Each structure stands twice: as C-alpha cells, then as structure tokens.
Structure 1
Amino acid sequence: MAEDPVDPRHVIDRQVLEMLVCPLTKTRLTLSSDHKELISIAARLAFPIVKGVPLLSLEEARNVEPEELQALSRQPH
C-alpha cells in the first residue's frame, strides 16, 4: 500500500526548525528521522508535529527512551 503524498503545507521549513527550542530546557530540538517529532535530547522529550505544526506543549510530549537518545546522538545533524 502506497503512502499518501505529503501536503506541502504540512512541511516545516528548515529555517523555522532552527529557531524552535524546547519549552522546558530552551535547548535546540532535533527532527526525528521520520519527520513526525521534534526531540529535546536535554529534556528527553519528543514533541509531535501535526500537519506541519510542532506541538511544543509539555502535555503533548512523550518521554524518549535512552536507546532512542543514543541513536539520535549518532545521527548527523
């Protein structure tokens, strides 16, 4: 089954991503490999991206497992 094409309105601009910071630690966020979350390595939280809009609310965030953080730290930025 083919994946639905991505609506260009739902894609976050890289320059915008570089300006966003974690609401808890104020540190830089990392885009997940599937482009569905912004991850705060310092806070160990992942914030969802819904229709191109990052939900930077602590209520929306999920905890990131240590194994995931290790994999992220090995990825080129």
Structure 2
Amino acid sequence: MSDTPTVPPACVDPRLLEILVCPLTREPLRYDAAAQELISDAAKLAYPIRDGIPIMLVDEARSLDDAAGA
C-alpha cells in the first residue's frame, strides 16, 4: 500500500512541441525529457512542464545562465 505512483513522468505530445515557441523570442524550443522542461536556447530559459502541461510564462522559467556557473 504505497502512495507513490508507478507511472512515468508525463510526456509532451510531439505535435504540441512542433508548434510551441518561446514567448520571449518566438524561436523553437527543445524538449528535455529528463528535466521535464522546454528549453529556449535563444533566451537561455527553461520553461517547466507540470503534469504534462508546459508553463509558457517567462516569470515561471528558469534561467539557464544560473546553471552555467561562474
């Protein structure tokens, strides 16, 4: 009797990925399945995917510059 779900993380529909663009730059996004993020290389932002839903708000995005280190 475990409360831990056994389903894998939600996937994003490939057709959706074809039409989504960065709301800041309007450039295509790259899907990072391991991190469950959509990456905008142009804006250096990572948009989270929660419960299979891309959160396409710049305020919710993680800066990739922070991950680059010093």
TM > 0.5: yes
* Residues matched between the structures, number: 63
Partner of 2:6: 4
Q: Report how far residue 22 of structure 1 moved.
A: 0.1
Q: Report how far residue 12 of structure 1 moved.
A: 1.3
Q: Report how far residue 33 of structure 1 moved.
A: 4.2
SS where residue 59 of structure 1 aligns? helix
Q: Report how far residue 4 of structure 1 moved.
A: 3.2
Flag as ranges the 4+ runs of structure 1 deviating above 2 A: none
Unaligned runs of 5+ in 1: 68-77
Normalised by the length of structure 2, the TM-score is 0.78
CA RMSD of superposed structures (Å)? 2.0
Normalised by the length of structure 1, the TM-score is 0.71
| Kept in 1: contact 2:29–2:38 (CA 8 A) | yes
For residues 15-62 of structure 1, the C-alpha deviation after alignment (integer angstroms, 9 at most, x for no partner) is 111100000000000001415000000000000000000000011001
CA distance in 1, matches of 2:38, 2:12: 11
CA distance in 2, matches of 1:18, 1:35: 19
Larger radius of gyration: 2
CA distance in 1, matches of 2:52, 2:39: 15
| Kept in 1: contact 2:20–2:29 (CA 8 A) | yes
